[in-house]
Amino acid sequence: MAEYQDLVLIGPMDQFVVAVNPRSMVNVGVALHGARLLIRSGLDGADSALVDTAVADRIDLRFERAVIGSGDGYFTSLAIWLTEAGLHVTVVSRPERLNRRLHATTGDVTYLPPTVALAA
């Protein structure tokens, strides 16, 4: 999160929505105090919780920009929907994790530093 905050300008009115599987709920909730925390299990459970909530909350009508903090291709349809609604969409991802379809959807990509493998 510190790397993310170094790269993305965060204003006092910005809202954070984070989704996790149930096993990560406590750790993420403590680490990201103040973020709206969604919990869903299963394959792509957290991803689908974020997309479903964005649509249900009609963020397309309430915001001018959205930041997708993931390189997962699951978020391509969300990025398209938001862009077509007139929002400025930024994707924040590590270069090695950015899905090609998601990258092609938005012209605004911010890269976190690449992950470094640690020796055992």
Mean pLDDT by 10 residues, the chain (120 residues): 80 90 92 90 96 97 95 97 97 94 94 70
Check residue 8 and give its pLDDT.
Answer: 84
pTM: 0.88
Which CATH number is associated with domain 2-111? 3.40.50.1010
Kindly tell me the sign of the dihedral angle through the C-alpha atoms of 94, 99, 100, 105.
negative
Q: Are 78 and 54 in contact, with CB atoms under 8 Å apart? A: yes
Kindly tell me the sign of the dihedral angle through the C-alpha atoms of 80, 15, 41, 115.
positive
CB-based contacts of 31, cutoff 8 Å, min separation 6: 1
Kindly tell me the sign of the dihedral angle through the C-alpha atoms of 65, 66, 69, 72.
negative
Give the residue extent of every domain in the chain: 2-111
Long-range (24+ apart) CB contacts under 8 A made by 23-27 are none
End-to-end CA distance of the chain: 24
